[in-house]
Amino acid sequence: MKRQPLKGLILYLFFSAKGHLMMTFVLVLFFAIFFLVTGATPMFGFVSINFIATFSVLGSASEDKANRWEKFQLSMPIRRKDVITAKYTFYLMMTIIALVMTILIVMIAHLFDSLNIVEYGSFALGGIEPVMEFIHTFASPTQITMNVTLISLGTALLTCALYYPLAYTIFKGKEELLVIIVFLGNFAVVGFLMWLGSRLDLSFNQIAIFNVIAPLILLGLSYLFTVKMYEKLDV
């Protein structure tokens, strides 16, 4: 029978992060209800995608450290490349789940709008509403939803692209701190990409797409770099 080490590693990552993910999903569902009843659903993608993706890393990293899993797994008959491939694959799986969840909540919000329950994109948040009315002069709620979701997806991809190379180099043993640093630091990268997009005279829609393409390229480079670093790592 052919062994499937990659599948086993992904399952381990899921079960090791399960506790963190369950709490995260409950929190995200709370935010989903809040965004639905306030008409602020176009902004939901930022919360769902970044929270779920980030805490999938935090959960597995904390369990790895507590159980000394890094040392144990390298005594198993698996390739080091499979270890890194499993981590990147699991992260992408969680990101896709968050994206699907975002799409479902947006569909429910549109249903509420069609039933005249809550106006989609009304952003009924008191003092913030005038600001959103100003934003609506430049983009429709649907456009805002798409662009916020794309930019959030890019931010989540950046989290993965930055986290693993640093976790196996200068931040080895400080993974929990690294999650916070990366989560905050990648917004600077997104800001730079948005600035670069504006300098290139791209539209807001084009800038949002650019904020996915560039992180995807960085993610690929990050994977190749991390595989090489992990091959040399003495854990």
- DSSP of 80-99, one letter per residue? HHHHHHHHHHHHHHHHHHHH
Q: Which uninterrupted H or E stretch holds 68?
A: none
CB-based contact 129:23 (threshold 8 Å): no
How far is Cα of residue 57 from the mean position of the Cα atoms in its chain?
Answer: 10
How far is Cα of residue 164 from the mean position of the Cα atoms in its chain?
Answer: 14
The string of DSSP letters for 103-168 reads HHHHHHHHHHHHTTSS-TT----GGGHHHHHHHHTTS-HHHHHHHHHHHHHHHHHHHHHHHHHHHT
What is the structure's pLDDT at 172? 74
How far apart are alpha carbons 8 and 114 in whole angstroms? 45
Q: Which domain holds residue 223?
A: 5-232
At 55, give phi and psi (nearest 5°).
Answer: -75, -15
- Give the DSSP letter of residue 43: G
- Give the DSSP letter of residue 41: G
Residue tagged 């797409």 (tokens):
209
- Give the DSSP letter of residue 76: S
How far apart are alpha carbons 215 and 105 in whole angstroms? 25
Number of other residues whose CB lies within 10 A of the CB of residue 190: 17
Q: How do the pLDDT tens digits run along the chain, 235 residues long?
A: 345 778 888 888 888 778 778 888 999 999 999 999 988 888 899 999 988 888 787 766 666 665 666 666 666 667 888 888 989 999 999 999 999 999 999 999 999 999 998 888 877 554 455 555 656 666 788 888 998 899 999 999 998 898 888 888 887 767 667 777 887 788 788 888 888 888 888 888 888 899 999 999 999 999 999 999 888 776 5
C-alpha distances (whole Å) from 137 to each of 110, 144, 151, 156 are 20, 11, 20, 28
The structural domain count of the chain equals 1
Number of other residues whose CB lies within 10 A of the CB of residue 110: 16
Considering the entire predicted model, what is its pTM?
Answer: 0.84
Tokens of 159: 């989290």
